[in-house]
Amino acid sequence: MRQRERLLYVGTFTDKESEGIYLYHFNEESGELRYFDVVKQVADPSFLTPGPDHTLYAINALFEYKGEPTGAVSAFSIERESGRLTLLNERSSRGRRPAYVFVDRSKKYVLLANYGEGSVAVFPLLPDGRLGEATDVIQHAGESVHSRQEGPHAHSIMTDPSNSFALAADLGTDTVYVYRFDAEKGKLEPHRRYKAAAGAGPRHLAFHPSNRYVVVIHELNSTLTSYRWTEESGELTELETVATLPPKANGESTAAEVKFSACGRFLYASNRGDNSIVCYTFHEETGELRYVNHYDCKGDVPRHFTISPNGKFLLVANQESDSIVTFRIDRETGELTFTGNVVKAPTPVCLLFLP
């Protein structure tokens, strides 16, 4: 790997041309990506998360695993010099079509959301990085008004910065669930529930770097809702809701990913169908969101995006056009500028730089 380069890991769906998890070298000065390697024979590794001590975890977004109606979650070790991955073990995700995986702040547990089943689960990390048997599985219940909300569909879960609570977004029930998280036993205890607008479809959450705010992106009605977070009590206080789409957007579109810039001054979200990224400024004292601009993703279905560790670039995974596109971030305004760098990647659906 050349000087000023980092590794980018790319999760994919493997039902078309993709062979697994792809690795690229990323130039932190130019924004250029170069193909490096692929970890083959990994089924639908569609969401990735970093673990402790050179490990990485991926959900396998399957409807069936080893003859059972469930997906899976996989553990990998990372070779220190090259960054290549070696499979350690797999576990049933304890639910169909898992959609999200997260390592808790103590680095002792993996939490995941099973979209198909509408459940969330906790798995312990063993000393060698392998996954142990699930320590908890909680099934959500309910429905809402949209045709895709005939039952619960847990879409993401993460612990708060204090690691005392876990927040789960459920698209099917229009609910953000807050659980107390026992980091000694790997258990989730129901704490509070927060309802979104009917038919909104909560998908992902982002904590502000100050740890005082949470923003939820809603897939079905393409909105963002900001909340004040009180970590002492595990409470969310709703502040405002804004659109992810431009006012004159035409055709069907669903919102996908949401992230804060490292400085916390800017918030970005992606739109699949409109094929755009929206930028808002975020006021740290009030939590107010102010619109900046929309940007063409230069591809189709921007399911996921990430920001480079140096904060200079935003990279977009365009799922249906099989491409990763790089934009330069203006650190003063938050505006995005297309760098001209586009790399071919089969069905990219998650981008991960290791810490």
* CATH number for 238: 2.130.10.10
- Residues facing residue 263 across a β-bridge: none
Residue 90 belongs to a domain: no
Residue 54 belongs to a domain: no
Q: Report the run of H or E that residue 60 belongs to, with start and end.
A: strand 55-60
Count CA atoms within 13 Å of residue 350 on its CB side.
24
Give me the domain span that covers residue 165.
5-37+114-353
Sequence-ordered list of residues with C-beta below 8 angstroms from that of 238, at least 6 positions apart, any chain: 194, 225, 226, 227
Q: Specify the pLDDT at position 4.
A: 86
User: What are 17's two structure tokens?
Assistant: 């041309």
Residue 286 belongs to a domain: yes
Residue pair 208/261 in contact (Cβ under 8 Å)? The answer is: no
Number of domains within the chain: 1
Residue that the structure tokens 């959609």 belong to = 99
pLDDT in tens, the chain (355 residues): 676 899 999 999 999 999 999 999 999 999 999 999 999 999 999 999 999 999 999 999 999 999 999 999 999 999 999 999 999 999 999 999 999 999 999 999 999 999 999 999 999 999 999 999 999 999 999 999 999 999 999 999 999 999 999 999 999 999 999 999 999 999 999 999 999 999 999 999 999 999 999 999 999 999 999 999 999 999 999 999 999 999 988 899 999 999 999 999 999 999 999 999 999 999 999 999 999 999 999 999 999 999 999 999 999 999 999 999 999 999 999 999 999 999 999 999 999 998 7
Closest among 69, 51, 185, 183 to 119, alpha carbons compared: 69
254 three-class SS: strand
CA pair distance 179, 80, nearest whole angstrom: 35
Residue that the structure tokens 């932190």 belong to = 28
**What is the model's pTM?**
0.97
Q: Specify the pLDDT at position 250.
A: 85
Residue pair 109/125 in contact (Cβ under 8 Å)? The answer is: yes
- Amino acid at the residue 19: E
CA pair distance 30, 9, nearest whole angstrom: 18
Q: Specify the pLDDT at position 3.
A: 67
Residue 73 belongs to a domain: no
65 three-class SS: strand
Residue 314 belongs to a domain: yes
129 three-class SS: coil
Residue 59 belongs to a domain: no
CA pair distance 256, 58, nearest whole angstrom: 19
Residue that the structure tokens 């924004």 belong to = 31
Burial 310-328 (b: 16+ CB within 10 A, else e): eebbbbbbbbebbbbbbbb
Q: Specify the pLDDT at position 235.
A: 98
The pairs formed by 59-67 with CB atoms below 8 angstroms and a separation of 24 or more are 59/93, 59/98, 59/99, 59/100, 59/101, 59/112, 60/90, 60/93, 60/98, 61/13, 61/97, 61/98, 61/99, 61/115, 62/96, 62/97, 63/96, 63/97, 63/116, 64/96, 65/92, 65/93, 66/92
Residue 106 belongs to a domain: no
Residue 244 belongs to a domain: yes
